[in-house]
Amino acid sequence: MAESRKCQVLVIGAGPGGYVAGIRSAQLGLDTIVVEGDKAGGTCLIRGCIPSKAIIHAAERFESLRQHSAEGGHMGLFVKGDAEVDMGGLVSWKDSIVDRLNKGVEGLLKAAGADLIKGWASFDGPKSCTVDTGGDSVKIEAENVIIATGSSHIDLPFMPCDEEFVLSSTGALDLESLPKSVAIVGGGYIGLELGCALAKLGSEITVVEGMSSILAIMDKEIRRPLELWLKKHKVSVHTDSLARGVEIKGKGASKKVELTFEKDGTEHKVKVDKVLVTVGRKPNTKGWGLENTGVRMDGSGRFIRIDRKCRTSVPGVFAIGDVAGEPMLAHKASAEGEMVAEIIAGHKREFDKVAIPAIVFTEPEIVSVGLTPDEAKERGEEIIVGKFPLAANGRALSLEAEKTGGFIRVTARESDHVILGVQAVGSHVAELHAEFVLALEMGALLEDVAGTVHAHPTMSEAFHESVLKTLGHAIHIN
């Protein structure tokens, strides 16, 4: 006989949206249960953002070692002998970070007073489900439900991921050895982040992208330094190209995978050790009884429809994160989770963000907050734009952050100088995003940033200078 439980808040999914919702609900004194079918932390922590950034960092370190061990060294520093990659050791180090953070999330839930149940939830009504824990089952009835089921990678039906020769991003983060060659199907941020890391580790990379440019979510100017880096590192990029299938060639240890793709009406083939498929992600709306909850989908039919309070069409049922729409970003999910918990507790909240930052951890890194110049013009804004090169920033030079031709670009309304958007590209620019977001959320004018003293020598000075450039009086460039 199944155990029966009742609670005030039931959270389905312990990813960056769900676990934050669970912690905040419990902090507010609500009887809270969080159900997770895998490990607490979700895709971002377990098989996405965190492990990929660990591997990206390791790749940067390895590239630096190779520079120092090359003839003549680098920066006057020399390393005797060749740098080598132990992929098993790298993955083990990455896993240790993931395990530590997973245990940390579980500890935070427990400390807050939320009850974490590991198992698969299946709904038979809008606020009742049965959780299969692998042996026993738990029947849960809740006053409020927060759906935070996240998303998963999209498989191509004609070349499904077997995680041996055809990899998803999950498989790419668990490689037992470094492949000599990798073909990446999909030139979006996931494929390019992993592609840059593998290129630094020594793999030969080929990118096959169906659209006319890689990283199409970013404008041409902001992605140009990345395109130059890929060219410099001999990454072969095929745009306007459609993958058609794969075939395993050879026997035993000499097996290769041959990817066929179509470009300009002509069939092309490339033989590699691994094919990595990164063509996007889909919301997890199947397999847990969504159809029994009565909630409505949005116009696309892909996402659960929500309002600015993350309420679904069913009273007392909320949806947050990737399952509830774009942008499919962990930090958006976390913000929504915190907000919904407070709404359930009776606080007056709604999701009214001026900007949600987007960051791509390629080489160089790319940051976009708010509107680009073209987007602002499309909205009918009369704008002024200023751009400051990282090559004119002392700290960027000392960190070699300028080597990719990076810059910071500011867009503001001409009439009142309200900052509408900031984009940046260059090594180490990701951590600058917080000031960009804060400026937009606070409704800052160009003069507000111009009048703020930025410490020297730091890369944040480049933002200050980009604002001065927008105003027409930058100090360190003409």
In a domain, 99, yes or no: yes
In a domain, 137, yes or no: yes
456 among known catalytic residues: yes
Phi, psi of 404 (to 5 degrees): -105, 5
In a domain, 68, yes or no: no
Same-domain check for residues 306 and 375: no
In a domain, 142, yes or no: yes
Measured CA to CA, the distance from residue 153 to residue 274 in angstroms comes to 17
> What pLDDT score does 2 carry?
73
Same-domain check for residues 42 and 141: yes
Among candidate residues 238, 456, 464, 476, the one labeled active-site is 456
The CATH number assigned to the domain holding 387 equals 3.30.390.30
Same-domain check for residues 107 and 253: no
Q: Which residues contact 412 (CB under 8 A, 6 or more apart)?
A: 383, 384, 385, 418, 419, 420, 445, 446, 470
Backbone torsion region of residue 210, taken as left when φ is above 0, otherwise alpha when ψ lies between -120 and 50, otherwise beta: alpha
How many residues does the structure list for the chain? 478
Phi, psi of 383 (to 5 degrees): -125, 165
Same-domain check for residues 111 and 24: yes
**Is pTM beyond 0.85 here?**
yes
In a domain, 370, yes or no: yes
> What pLDDT score does 69 carry?
87
Same-domain check for residues 424 and 304: no
In a domain, 133, yes or no: yes
Amino acid (1-letter code) at residue 269 = K
Same-domain check for residues 43 and 134: yes
Q: Per the omega criterion (within 30 degrees of 0), is the bond before 327 cis?
A: yes
Contact 325, 298 (CB under 8 A): yes
Same-domain check for residues 129 and 204: no
The CATH number assigned to the domain holding 183 equals 3.50.50.60
Same-domain check for residues 228 and 133: no
> What pLDDT score does 405 carry?
87
Same-domain check for residues 140 and 287: yes
> What pLDDT score does 1 carry?
56
Q: How far apart are the first and last CA of the chain?
A: 77
Q: Per the omega criterion (within 30 degrees of 0), is the bond before 457 cis?
A: yes
Low-confidence ranges of the chain (pLDDT < 50): none
> What pLDDT score does 160 carry?
92
Report the number of distinct structural domains present in the chain. Answer: 3
Same-domain check for residues 23 and 141: yes
> What does the DSSP 8-state code read for residue 141?
E
In a domain, 160, yes or no: no
> What pLDDT score does 67 carry?
87
The domain of 133 spans 3-47+92-152+282-344
Q: Per the omega criterion (within 30 degrees of 0), is the bond before 364 cis?
A: yes
Cβ atoms < 10 Å from Cβ of 476: 15
Same-domain check for residues 403 and 448: yes
Same-domain check for residues 214 and 325: no
> What pLDDT score does 404 carry?
79
